[in-house]
Each structure stands twice: as structure tokens, then as C-alpha cells.
Chains A and B, each alone.
Chain A
Amino acid sequence: MSRVHQLKISVSGIRGVIGDFLTPNLACAFAQAFGTYVGPGPVVVGRDTRSSGEMLEHAVTCGLLAAGCEVVKVGIAPTPTIQVYVSEIRARGGIAITASHNPPEYNALKLFNREGLFFNHYERTELLDLYHQSEFRQATNNEIRRVVTDFDSPPQRHFKRVLAHVDADRIRKRKFRVALDGVNGAGSLMSTHFLSEVLGCELHAISVDPTQPFPREAEPRPEVLDDLRTLIRETKAEAAFAQDPDGDRLAVGDETGHILDNDDVLALAVDCALHRRKGPVVVNLTTSSVIDDVAARHGCPVFRAPVGEANVVERMRLAGAVIGGEGSNGGIIFPAVQYCRDSYMGMAFLLDRMAETGQTMSELAASLPRYYRRMGKMAYEHGRLGSMMQALESLFPGARIDRNDGLKLMFSDGWIHVRSSNTEPILRLAAEARSEERLEELYSRALSVS
């Protein structure tokens, strides 16, 4: 049973615990399958700051070269920066070596197509088949291509895209006092530069040494951001940001030391984006209804997709969305920069909104409609999932139902969403309501079926 967590080779790519599970041999073979799939051309390779990153970078480079690809190494870089870069240089694809918000003993390969997008479902399936078939392209000495490096231009290209959608002068003039927790991750140096140099903030940063291990849990959940709260108080910061190790997720703190709910952060970003341009919004099924309220203020529709960045991105492309994201995961996806979760666009949007309105972060958050949310998970035995779902449905006969990803039951004053995790045999349960009492009722009744 515990092995299930140690190594996972699936349509999401390859992820596992370093050591006996995720070996360089596996990473090399997977990269060679990827290189075979995307064909002989440039492939971008970057990584986060995990201790296994350098080792896997060599294994991945080996596999790509063996498949006849040219390897463009960008070194330590946030995932969104890598994605922007892939699309800018017209590479065949990209690989980010990062286990994102997972603990430091994990690592994984994130795979991007030539547009810098996560592989869609069909691409992922084809790649997995190719991997299992082990019939890789084997380049000869004459066909093997070179390794080139570009450490400087990826951040610059990313910043340029972000700054096209905010009023940078307006932000710089305010000289915001900003606190940052970089988790010693891939964004450490880049975020420091972005906030202090590019946006002219008075920056107070902790955990921005990419050579050091993660000082806290990798996922920037409010419960693990005590150091950031302390920093806010000590420095009297007006805004605070925390990233995950690969810089796609963003947590936001206000001047009182309160860490905003992730769904509220997304709602503020949606508000910013729709202020500039009206259009559809796409979020996942677990994201708060606050998004619907904000979109409604602008007269814009909201569409919902199954959980997972790739799913949200696919739906956004279909809908021609202006902005999207996954509230619970702290991900803001702004396609005018790139179809990916991007903490940099998030930081820029929020500072720009503060500069524009003169409001504090807490005032911005307070302007959002108030919802109560609760999330949890329960382990289940394989084979029990279906009957649990049926039991849940019969508990709430009057609810509207969405079955696009697990089961979502919707009421006039709240909802319940239950889905099985893609990566572990657990059931993720989320509920939201207008009042605390209603939330407790919904949540405890849902929990009773387990």
C-alpha cells in the first residue's frame, strides 16, 4: 500500500520518492520517450531547488540527447517561467524537474508541449504508451545534438509578458513594503529581483537561498506560514507573498498578518483581469462560488472544469477564457501571459490593484462576498468508491448534480464536492456555504457516508 505513494508512472508523468523509487534510470528512459514523442529539436529543461534536481537534470538531458533532441538548459527556474520560455523559443517541448508542492524527498517530471502547455490527456496517453513500448528513437553519433544554456533570458521574457498587463509605473511609485517567503525554491532569486528591482518594492525576504533545503512545508498553506506572519508584523509590510518550490502557487498575506484564503486570492485576480478586459472565467469544480459573484459583477460567465491544471487549461482554451485557475491550489492562470499557474502574474495583479484603488490588501479582501469553506480527505478502500458516491447522492435528493469530476452536489446556499485523488487512494471532500452553520451541516453529513 505504501508503495503506491513512492512511485507513480501515469498520464500525469512520473513522480516518486528519490532513492529506490524514482531513479535516474527511470527519468532517463522517460525523457527519451518524451524526446522520441516530440521529435528531434530543441527541448527546454529546467528544475526547482530540490537536492535531487541536479542529478535528475543530468538523467533527463541524457535521455533527450539520446533521442536526438537539442537540450536547452535554463537551470533553476520556476515552472511558469519555463513554460513561457518554451513557447517563446519555439522549442519542441519542455521538461520541468519539480515535485511542485510535494515534500523534499519527492521529485517529478512535468511535461510541456511546444506551446509550453501541460500535455493534454491524449498527448499524455500516447507518451505513456511509447514509454511502455520502450521503442525509443536512438540517435547515432552523427545525430546527437548539443546542450546549450540560457540562464538569463527566461526570467526577463517572463517579466516582460507579466508587465504588459499591469501599470508598473503605478506600482513602483507606491514603493510598497512587501514581505516574501521564497521557501528556498526555484523562484528565490527571481522573485527577489522581480519585487525589489522590477516593481520597486521595499522587500523583506526570507528563505530565498536556492542552495538551502525547504525550511517549511513546501505547499504554502496558511498553517505553515508563521514565519511570514512574523515578518509582516516586524516589517509592517503592506503585502506578503509565499511561493511553492516551483513558483506556480501563490499565497498572499495582508498588512494585518492574515493569510488570505486561496480562493479569495484567485477572486481578487479575477477581478483585476476582468477590470481590464471582459470575458469568460474558468475554474475547477472545487473552487469557491466567490468567483461566480465577482464574475457576475462584471457580467462575465464562469465555466467549471475537473480538478487539475491541464483540465482547467483545456477548458479555458475552449471557452476563450480571460482568466482562470484553481482556487484551492493557489493557482492563477492568465493566458495572456501563458496558460499556466503563475505566481508572478498574481503578485503583479494584486500590487497593481492596491496601487490603483489605494486600498490595503485587507480592504481588497473584505470587499469580496463572504463564504465559509472546509476541506478534508478520507482514505477509502479500492472498490468502495462507487457505493460511497451513491450514498452521498441519496442523502441530498434535491441537489443539482455535476459528475464531471467525482460528484458535486449544488444547493442554493452551498455545495459539496467529493472526488478521488489522481495520485493517492484518498477521497477529497470540499464543502462551502453562506453560513458557518450550514457549512457544518453539509460537511458532517457528507463525512457520514464514509
Chain B
Amino acid sequence: MAQERSLRISQVGLRGIVGNGLTAAHVLDFASAFSTFLEPGGKIVVGRDPRTSSIMMREGVIAGLLAGGHDVIDLGIVSTPVIQHSIRRLDACGGISIGASHNAAEWNALKFFGPRGTYLSTGEAGELLDIYHLKKFEMAEWRGIGHLHSDPDATERYLDELAQVFDIPKLARYRVLVDCTNGTSAPILSRMNERFGTRFILINEPLEGRDFAHEPSTTRKMVALQLAPLMQHVGADAGFLFDIDSDRVAFATERGQAISEEMVLVLLADDFLERGPGKLVITNVSTTALLEEIAARHGGQIVRVPVGRQSAIDALASYRPEQVAVAGEGTGAVMMPQFRFVYDGIASMLGILSMMDRRNQSLASILDGYTTYSILKGKIPLETHRIPEMLMEIEERFPDGVRNTVDGLRIDWPERWVHVRVSQTEPLVRVICEQRGGPPRALFDQVMDLVRSYGV
């Protein structure tokens, strides 16, 4: 079932299991479509993750872009944020990141960026998709074909930008354990150690093409398995775990606690709201209500949009950068206005370490200062055609709560909420349920049972 539907072509880009859905022909067509979509003649930045299939996809992407008359600057194996930073720095007209981020090794994907280094808006992504489907690509004639260049300095210039916002040498006071999951964070952090004297202790450091040390997901579960048990042995002040392309991060405290991935956004929202000037936190309807509590403390406001990168990108466009404190998801993917709204796990990590430094508090003690919220998450495969019926029944079953239908159905009560939504990437329904204090077991079970009654 999953294999039959492994290919997904949407406004988020192209994603699938290589050789089993995602093929070279898709890559070529998408690169040609992107080349047609962009202004003719500009440079395009390309980078990839260490997956074996990324080499194949790189070749196809480069061929498609050169044929469209664009010069290509290949950054090699780099994180997605490095690609996004480089687009602006090199005055390129766009960029492509080759890599499947938090997905397992057999997956791969293309992500597209515009001239400011940000993800395409929904309107732009829709246009790209139309060009892809029409398959009438603009090809340069033989004299106009682009040339391939490289830029070995990309990581170094990215570190320059990070160092302008964070006092990185000061963070050398911390001993930090990092699980790189064999991904692109490893070369960046080892260079940071050399250049700034930081003390990042890297595990799962070698770049791997086929076998990652573990599933590259930035979840509390993964932190609990991989990172938390080592924290006290190493005597680390903080522990971080990255996905393959380093746009997401999860973490553990010095006491060896694995912390919910929701808390990355919470910590950064707290810190950036406190420091201003931005007073808005843009997030989706599935993230923790602790955010509202923290925002109230700083006179800030939480803007909740539908789940998915595209909604956050579109929402950001309607605010001036200085209005926004931070934007992000409960998945550990957070963007800051200082970095032009690039989801960046490494910047998020530096943000958390800087917060510890500024408050002169340990990570665990900062977290102790927050009210406990308990979140339960579940997923159930479902036949697509019964979803509206199911949502309607849930709505009828809980008439006393406040309804929000921007993305599936969310119902809020004073100290708890439940969100039922359909996954954009898999044929299943997700149930997220949160309560101030202990876990909302009864509510969660009730909703799960109801959803399950529609299950396959």
C-alpha cells in the first residue's frame, strides 16, 4: 500500500521512494519545469544530502537546469539551510535541495526555493506544478546552455551569518553532545569546533549513503533511544539530534531527559518574544497550547495556521519580518527572522544554547520553569472517502468546545484540546490531544476509538 503510493508530487515538491515510484524521469522533468518557471538566465544553487540516490538526482537536476539556460552552482553535500543562505549571498534566482530530510534512506525529494532563499509560496508552487504537468519546457538553444560551477566556501559563509546573530565562541562554555544521524550537520559542526572552539561532541558523524545509524526523525522517542542515555555519561550540558538535512532538531537535557520535539519552538518563542521586537509566533493548529501561555507572559500573540510548511510560508508573507518573533512547527523545525525564515536546526540549537547562556541556567532548569502540558499523538489508516463523515461525527459528539476547521477539526476547551487531521503525505488520520497537567487519556481514547470505527 505504502509502496504503491510512494510518489507524491505536490506544491511541496517531489518526494518518493527512489526506484519504486520516484524515477530519473521525474527528476529531469521537475528540474526542467523549475528552470522554465524561473527568470531566464539566472544562477541556480543546488545541494544534496548524502543519500546514494542523491547523486543520481543531482545529475538529473544539473542537466535539466543547464539545458534551460541557467548556470548551476553546485554546493555538494550541504544542509538545506546552507543552500537557502547561499541563494541570497550568490544573488541566485533560485535553488534546489536534493534530499529527504527526516525520511528513511530509501526516500528522496526535491525542495524548491525562490530568489530570496525561501520556499515557494503556494501560488508559485502551483505554477511550477502546472508547468511540470504541461511538460512544455523552455530549452535554451545550443549557444545558451548554462555552465556548472562549484562554491567550496558555502559552509564557511553560512557560519559567518550564524556568527553575526549568535556569539558562538561564548557557547564554547558548553559541552554539547550531538547525534548527527550521519547527515549534513556533521561537517558544519566539526568546522564550527575548529573555527570557534566550540565543544560539540559528534556521534553518528560519518556521512552515509545507504544505512543511517537510526531513523532520521527528530522526535522525543528517537532522542530517548539514541541520545538521552548517553548524556550523563558524557557529562554534556545539552544534547541535540538532527535529521539528515539539518532543518530540524530535537534535544535532551543534562539530566538525560528526552524532551518533546514541541519544546524547540517553545524555548525559542520564549526567548525571542522576551527579546523582541517581534511579538508574533506563527505556528500550526497541532502545536502545544503552552505557546499561548508563554505569549501572554510577553504580551505576544500566537498565529495558528493549517499544518504544513506551505501554510507557514504563506502566513509569513502577510507580516513584516520585524513583527514576527519566530515561526515553526512542533516537529522541531523553527525559523527565525534573523535568518530570513529558513527552517534551521543548527540555528535553533545555537538559539537554545544562547538562551541558557543569557539566563545562566541549565537546560533542565529552564524547562522546569514551564507549566507541564501532556500531549498524546496517534495515527490510524483510513479510507479517504469517509473522512468528512468522520469529522462531522466528532464535531457532533463534542458540542461544548470551540471549533476550528482551518485544517481538519480542532476542538478547544479551557485546559485541553484535540486535533483530528488528515496527513498530507500518507493515507492516514492523525489525532493530537493535549492537556495542561497530566495526559488527557480519556479524551484521546474516545477520539481514537471514534476514528478507528472508520478505519480500514
Task: Mark A residues whose CB is within 8 Å of B.
Answer: 17-20, 23-25, 27-29, 32, 50-52, 54-56, 58-59, 61-63, 65-66, 104-105, 107, 136, 138-144, 146-147
Residues in A with CB closer than 8 Å to B62 are 55, 58
**Told that A59-B63, A66-B23, A144-B55 touch, could you supply 20 new A-B pairs with CB distance under 8 A?**
A18-B145, A25-B28, A28-B24, A52-B145, A54-B66, A54-B147, A58-B148, A59-B64, A62-B28, A63-B24, A65-B55, A105-B142, A107-B142, A138-B18, A138-B20, A138-B23, A140-B18, A140-B19, A141-B53, A144-B56
Which residues of B in the span 137-176 have a Cβ within 8 Å of any Cβ on A? Answer: 137, 139-143, 145-148
Q: Find the A residue at minimum CB distance from B32.
A: A25
Q: Which 4 A-B pairs have the closest CB atoms?
A: A59-B63, A62-B59, A66-B24, A62-B60
Contact B59 A59 (CB under 8 A): yes
- How close is B59's CB to chain A, nearest CB, in angstroms? 4
Contact A19 B140 (CB under 8 A): yes
Residues in A with CB closer than 8 Å to B105 are 141-142
Cross-interface CB contact of A32 among B20, B24, B147, cutoff 8 Å: B24
Contact A28 B28 (CB under 8 A): yes
Which residues of B in the span 205-245 have a Cβ within 8 Å of any Cβ on A? Answer: 209-210
Residues in A with CB closer than 8 Å to B29 are 25
- How close is B245's CB to chain A, nearest CB, in angstroms? 15
The docked-state distance in angstroms from the alpha carbon of A11 to that of B167 is 64
Contact A142 to B106, CB < 8 A, known contacts A25-B29, A56-B63: yes
The docked-state distance in angstroms from the alpha carbon of A304 to that of B32 is 46
Asked if B93 is at the interface (CB within 8 A of a chain A CB), the reply is: no
Pick 9 A–B contacts, CB within 8 A, sort by A. Answer: A20-B139, A24-B32, A52-B67, A54-B147, A62-B28, A62-B60, A138-B20, A141-B53, A144-B56
Contact A144 B25 (CB under 8 A): no
Contact B148 A66 (CB under 8 A): no
- The 8 A CB mask of B97-131 against A (1 = contact, 0 = none) is 00000000111100000000000000000000000
Residues in A with CB closer than 8 Å to B285 are none
Contact A23 to B23, CB < 8 A, known contacts A52-B145, A141-B105: no
Contact A141 B59 (CB under 8 A): no
- How close is A310's CB to chain B, nearest CB, in angstroms? 27
Contact A58 B141 (CB under 8 A): no
Q: Find the B residue at minimum CB distance from A66.
A: B24
The docked-state distance in angstroms from the alpha carbon of A447 to that of B29 is 48
- The 8 A CB mask of B286-297 against A (1 = contact, 0 = none) is 000000000000
Contact B145 A28 (CB under 8 A): no
Cross-interface CB contact of B148 among A20, A54, A65, A138, cutoff 8 Å: A54
- How close is A111's CB to chain B, nearest CB, in angstroms? 18
Cross-interface CB contact of B143 among A29, A51, A59, cutoff 8 Å: A51
The docked-state distance in angstroms from the alpha carbon of A54 to that of B63 is 8
Contact B60 A19 (CB under 8 A): no
Asked if B52 is at the interface (CB within 8 A of a chain A CB), the reply is: yes
Q: Find the B residue at minimum CB distance from A103.
A: B142
Contact B63 A24 (CB under 8 A): yes
Which residues of B in the span 49-84 have a Cβ within 8 Å of any Cβ on A? Answer: 51-53, 55-57, 59-60, 62-64, 66-67
Asked if B27 is at the interface (CB within 8 A of a chain A CB), the reply is: yes
Asked if B355 is at the interface (CB within 8 A of a chain A CB), the reply is: no
The docked-state distance in angstroms from the alpha carbon of A32 to that of B25 is 9
Contact A141 B25 (CB under 8 A): no
The docked-state distance in angstroms from the alpha carbon of A138 to that of B16 is 13
Residues in A with CB closer than 8 Å to B53 are 140-141, 144
Residues in B with CB closer than 8 Å to A144 are 18-19, 52-53, 55-56
Most buried by B among A19, A24, A105, A136: A24
Asked if B17 is at the interface (CB within 8 A of a chain A CB), the reply is: yes
Cross-interface CB contact of B59 among A29, A65, A143, cutoff 8 Å: A65
Residues in A with CB closer than 8 Å to B64 are 24-25, 59
Residues in A with CB closer than 8 Å to B142 are 17-19, 50-52, 104-105, 107
Task: Mark B residues whose CB is within 8 Å of A.
Answer: 17-20, 23-25, 27-29, 32, 51-53, 55-57, 59-60, 62-64, 66-67, 105-108, 137, 139-143, 145-148, 209-210
Contact A141 to B63, CB < 8 A, known contacts A18-B141, A23-B137: no
Contact A139 B63 (CB under 8 A): no
- How close is B3's CB to chain A, nearest CB, in angstroms? 11
Residues in B with CB closer than 8 Å to A24 are 28, 32, 60, 63-64, 66-67
Contact B210 A141 (CB under 8 A): yes
- How close is B350's CB to chain A, nearest CB, in angstroms? 31
Contact A23 B67 (CB under 8 A): yes
Contact B141 A105 (CB under 8 A): yes
Residues in B with CB closer than 8 Å to A58 are 59-60, 62-63, 66, 148
Cross-interface CB contact of A25 among B17, B25, B107, B141, cutoff 8 Å: B25
The docked-state distance in angstroms from the alpha carbon of A138 to that of B60 is 14
Contact B145 A59 (CB under 8 A): no
Q: Find the B residue at minimum CB distance from A18.
A: B142
Residues in A with CB closer than 8 Å to B18 are 138-141, 144
Contact A59 to B141, CB < 8 A, known contacts A140-B17, A141-B18: no
- How close is B399's CB to chain A, nearest CB, in angstroms? 49
Contact B108 A141 (CB under 8 A): yes
Contact B19 A139 (CB under 8 A): yes
The docked-state distance in angstroms from the alpha carbon of A59 to that of B64 is 8
Residues in B with CB closer than 8 Å to A59 are 28, 59-60, 63-64, 67
Contact A29 to B51, CB < 8 A, known contacts A51-B143, A65-B59, A104-B142: no
The docked-state distance in angstroms from the alpha carbon of A52 to that of B32 is 15
Residues in B with CB closer than 8 Å to A20 are 139
Q: Find the B residue at minimum CB distance from A31.
A: B24
Residues in B with CB closer than 8 Å to A142 are 52, 105-106, 210
Residues in B with CB closer than 8 Å to A52 are 67, 142, 145
The docked-state distance in angstroms from the alpha carbon of A141 to that of B105 is 7
Contact A140 to B106, CB < 8 A, known contacts A51-B142, A51-B145, A55-B66: yes
The docked-state distance in angstroms from the alpha carbon of A18 to that of B145 is 9
The docked-state distance in angstroms from the alpha carbon of A29 to that of B53 is 17
Residues in A with CB closer than 8 Å to B32 are 23-25
Q: Find the B residue at minimum CB distance from A213.
A: B143
Residues in A with CB closer than 8 Å to B23 are 66, 136, 138
Contact B63 A62 (CB under 8 A): yes
The docked-state distance in angstroms from the alpha carbon of A20 to that of B17 is 30
Q: Find the A residue at minimum CB distance from B21.
A: A138
- How close is A54's CB to chain B, nearest CB, in angstroms? 6
Contact A55 to B67, CB < 8 A, known contacts A65-B56, A144-B55: yes
The docked-state distance in angstroms from the alpha carbon of A182 to that of B27 is 37
- How close is A217's CB to chain B, nearest CB, in angstroms? 16
Q: Find the A residue at minimum CB distance from B137.
A: A23
Residues in A with CB closer than 8 Å to B51 are 141
Q: Find the A residue at minimum CB distance from B28.
A: A25
Residues in B with CB closer than 8 Å to A104 are 142
Contact A28 to B19, CB < 8 A, known contacts A18-B141, A66-B24: no
Residues in B with CB closer than 8 Å to A63 are 24
Cross-interface CB contact of A28 among B63, B140, B209, B210, cutoff 8 Å: B63
Contact A55 to B52, CB < 8 A, known contacts A138-B20, A143-B19: no
The docked-state distance in angstroms from the alpha carbon of A233 to that of B64 is 47
Residues in A with CB closer than 8 Å to B147 are 54
- How close is A34's CB to chain B, nearest CB, in angstroms? 13
The docked-state distance in angstroms from the alpha carbon of A65 to that of B140 is 25
Contact A29 B25 (CB under 8 A): yes
Cross-interface CB contact of A66 among B56, B106, B141, B145, cutoff 8 Å: B56
Residues in B with CB closer than 8 Å to A143 are 19
Residues in B with CB closer than 8 Å to A32 are 24-25
The docked-state distance in angstroms from the alpha carbon of A59 to that of B56 is 9
Q: Find the A residue at minimum CB distance from B210.
A: A142
Q: Find the A residue at minimum CB distance from B31.
A: A24
Contact B60 A28 (CB under 8 A): yes
- How close is A397's CB to chain B, nearest CB, in angstroms? 50
Contact B141 A19 (CB under 8 A): yes
Residues in A with CB closer than 8 Å to B106 are 140-142
Most buried by B among A59, A136, A147: A59
Q: Find the B residue at minimum CB distance from A147.
A: B55
